[in-house]
Homo-oligomer: A and B are copies of this chain.
Amino acid sequence: MPAPAANASPDTYLAGRRSQVEQALRDALPGPDGAPALLRQAVEYSVMAGGKRIRPILALAACDAVHGDSRRILPLVVSLELIHTYSLIHDDLPAMDNDDLRRGRPTSHRVFGEDVAILTGDVLQALAFDVLATPRPGVDVPAELRLAAVAELATASGADGLVGGQLLDLRTELLPARTASDDAGRAAALATLEGIHSRKTGALIRAAVRIGGILGGADAPQLAALTRYGSSVGLAFQIADDLLDVHATPQEMGKATHKDDAQRKWAYPAVLGTDASHRIAEQWVHDALDAIAHFDDAADPLRALARYILDRRS
């Protein structure tokens, strides 16, 4: 399937990219040799459940933006979606957020049992690194770049990234400042909130953009610009997520909504109100666009993605 044209409408571009990523994900799943059937079934259930595929699409767009060959890196960037899917399966577990619904279907532990759900998350993490590192026909990217991508993904998944953020989200005490009406209290709450979400959501989104750039052969100034774009878009993405949790229905989201309030979790609208949250998200999108302002029109999909992240409806 050819890559969608850079001047396609955002919806057309996204749909084209999404179907490429779906196929590459399916190609990456464990085959029948050696892997137990139940594990393969549980892996497929969670990985092929739809989803926006925003992380691999960001990586492909970042690769395009630095004039890399995004077709060559497609089999590698599905690693980002595998890490994302593993984190959702583990976050949904009874010992964590205890969710019953994900992407409109019962969560992995509800279908396969808690033991299999834990193992399914574990195996998806291993598979993500396998996909980046194991030689495969048709994937011709230098070892140094693949190794750098492994390092990026591992760091983003680690104690100062995804897992650290989830732990903070579960275990950070609600500060009195959260509900304080004074500016200092609000600023402290906002700093805590950004500390949680820059790890839990931001690290993997930033890594997606950086990995796309690295595998596409970005030079140092390009990578610095992509890093700032990725950090800003990551924060905008989380705020948009929190706003959707307030406004969307479970049908639109395919999972329980209004949970942030019910469980008193850390979320932007609770700290700042919905209007200020939306304004801050717009500022982050503006900052993301500014970071890549000097890129040529090969970066147009990246620009469209920044806007889409704020305006999406699910």
Contact = CB atoms under 8 A, between A and B. Distances in A.
Contact of A39 (B118, B132, B163): B163
Interface string A129-170: 110111100000001101110110111011111111011101
Contact of A43 (B122, B157, B159): B159
Contacts of A38: 167, 171
A148 B143 CA distance: 9
Interface stretch (A27-35, A49-57, A280-288): A27-35
A123 B163 contact: yes
A108 interface: no
A90 B90 CA distance: 12
Contacts of A133: 147-148, 150-151, 154
A190 interface: no
Q: Determine which residue in A30, A146, A150, A159 has the highest number of CB atoms from chain B within 10 A of its CB, and name it.
A: A159
Interface residues of A, number: 56
A160 B135 CA distance: 17
Contacts of A36: 159, 164, 167-168, 171
22 contacts: A30-B159, A34-B160, A34-B199, A38-B167, A40-B159, A116-B167, A116-B171, A122-B125, A123-B157, A125-B125, A125-B126, A126-B154, A126-B157, A126-B161, A126-B163, A127-B159, A133-B148, A133-B151, A134-B151, A134-B154, A147-B150, A150-B150
